[in-house]
Amino acid sequence: MSESVSHSPKQLAILNKFYARLKKERFINNTSSTYYGNMNQRFVIPGIIITGLSSVGSFMTTSDMLDDNEKQGFGVTVGIMTAVATIIQSMSASYGFQLKKDAFATSADAYDSLLTKVEFEISNPNENFTEFCDDLEASILKIKGDCKYLPPLHVHQLWDENKHNYTQTITPVVSSSNVNEQPTSLVVEVSGESETDTGGEGEEGDGTKQHEMSAQ
């Protein structure tokens, strides 16, 4: 039988750091996408409503139910509403809210896929750990390069306020030859800095969330 591959404490610390970094990036990109989606709706919905009312006004200007003065009044109103709708649509396009929403959503999905890869690597160690890390770093750089927009400043502030809710506990693989040894636990804050706690169980503080993954 071939000997199973397991991670060293140093490799687990590296994976923890990647995992923390990816969770932060996914949070920032998801939150940014939601923000720009909401901003886009604030422009799109009023534009739709005004355009609809303009259509009703245009119909009224051709109706025999109104006299000439009323038709003229409706015509002026329709003209103003059409101009306002055009301004709103132009502003929305100029700010690029929809484009930013889609770009950040795509990045968030990509980071989520990388998180899944890291979770799989933790449970099923790769024989070529260095190659795995190099590929992971290259993928992260590609995602950053594909998204040309910067997250809003308040999103980073939200992360600073909520990062204490993201704590990851990893239980490494314990081979059959070391079943009597105490497993190592690594607790890493998602701020991007890893802390190693060996020989003990990870403690869960106030407002923190821990996931425990045991490799088969």
Q: Is the dihedral of CA 156, 161, 162, 166 positive or negative?
A: positive
pLDDT at 22: 92
User: Scanning the structure block, which residue is given the tokens 């009312």?
Assistant: 53
Question: What are the structural domain ranges in the chain?
Answer: 9-163
Position 171 pLDDT exceeds 60? no
pLDDT in tens, 39-87: 988 888 887 888 787 777 776 677 667 677 776 777 777 788 888 888 8
For residue 200, is pLDDT > 80?
A: no
Task: Give me the amino acid identity at 139.
Answer: S
Average pLDDT score over residue span 188-206: 38
Using 50, 70 and 90 to split pLDDT, how confident is the model at 188? very low
Q: What pLDDT score was predicted for residue 3? A: 56
Residue 194 pLDDT greater than 60, yes or no: no
The DSSP string of 74-104 is HHHHHHHHHHHHHHHHHHHHHHTHHHHHHHH
Band of pLDDT at residue 183, cut at 50, 70 and 90: very low
In this predicted structure, what is the pLDDT of residue 84?
A: 83
- Beta strand ranges found along the chain (DSSP E): 167-171, 185-189, 194-197, 212-214
**How many H helices and E strands in the chain?**
5, 4
> Please, which residues have CB within 8 angstroms of residue 44's CB and are 6 or more apart in sequence?
92
Render pLDDT for 110-153 as a digit per residue (tens, 0 to 9): 999 999 999 898 888 878 899 999 999 999 999 999 999 999 99
